[in-house]
Amino acid sequence: MSDQSSTAYIKGQPILVAVDNVIFGFDSEEEKLKVLLFKRKVEPFAGQWSLVGSFVQPNESAVVAASRILTEFTGLESVFLEQLHCYSSVDRDPGDRVISIAYYSLIQLQSYRKELVERHEAAWFELHDIPDLVVDHAQMITDALAKLQDNARRRPVGFNLLPPKFTLPQLFKLYQEIYQKEIDDRNFRKKILATGLLEKLDTKDKTTSKKGAFHYQFNKSKYHQLETDGYDILFH
C-alpha cells in the first residue's frame, strides 16, 4: 500500500453501518398484510417504535447481519430476504453518523416463534395502522411496499407469505393487501390460474361458508421457474 493510501486511511473518519429489516407477514385469518416492529432499547428514541435492526459487526457482511436479526426476532432461517436500499443522509440519525442498508423479508406468520417476538417487545402492525417510527423507518416501509408491489407484478411472491394450503379468496386478498387497493376478482383469478402456478386440492375450507372454498397449493417446480424467468402481469 502506498504512503498516500495509508494517509488516506488514517485521515478517514469512522462511520457506523446498520441494517434495518422490513419484515412483512400475511395474517391469513385477519387477511391483512403486516409489518413487524419493536420498541427501541437504546437512546436516542428509546421506547419508540422501530424496524428490526442492528449494527453490522466487524466479522459479518450486511446480508449476514440482516439474516441474524431476522432469526433473532422470528426464529426463522432461509426465508425470503432481499436488499432494498442504502439510506445515507448525513443527519438521518441524531445518535451518530450512521448509514443503514435496508432489507425486506417475506415470512409465513404461522411459522415464526411468537415467544421471540414477545421477548423483544415486538408486535405486528397492519399497514394502515403503523405508529410513528424513528428516523427514516417510515420511508423504508414505503419503499419496501413499492418494491413488493413491483415484485408481485413480475414474479410469484405468495409462496413466501401463505401457508402450504390456501384458498383462492385468501390469495386474492393477499394481492389486494400488497397493492393496497381493490382488484377485480374475476380478472385476478383468470390471470393467476393461467400461470400454471396453482394446484387444486380435494379439500375445502368451510370456515366462512357451508359450501366452502377449495384449497390450493403452489406447484413448486413452476413456482421456481417463474421466480427465475419472471412474468409481467398487471393484477390491478
Average pLDDT over residues 28-50: 94
C-alpha span between 177 and 223 (Å, rounded):
21
Backbone angles phi, psi at 159, to 5 degrees: -55, -30
The more confidently predicted of residues 159 and 68 is 68
Backbone angles phi, psi at 209, to 5 degrees: -160, 155
Q: Are 204 and 166 in contact (CB under 8 A)?
A: no
pTM score of the predicted model: 0.93
pLDDT tier for residue 7 given thresholds of 50, 70 and 90: confident
Q: Are 155 and 227 in contact (CB under 8 A)?
A: yes
C-alpha span between 213 and 226 (Å, rounded):
26
C-alpha span between 231 and 228 (Å, rounded):
9
pLDDT tier for residue 2 given thresholds of 50, 70 and 90: low
Tell me the chain's radius of gyration from C-alpha atoms: 20
Q: Is the pLDDT of residue 1 over 60?
A: no
What are 145's three cell numbers? 411496499
pLDDT value at residue 3: 60
What are 78's three cell numbers? 432461509
C-alpha span between 41 and 20 (Å, rounded):
15
What's the mean per-residue pLDDT of the chain? 93
Instruction: Tell me the pLDDT tens digit for each residue of 130-146.
Output: 999 999 999 999 999 99
Q: Is the pLDDT of residue 182 over 70?
A: yes
pLDDT value at residue 106: 97
C-alpha span between 190 and 111 (Å, rounded):
30
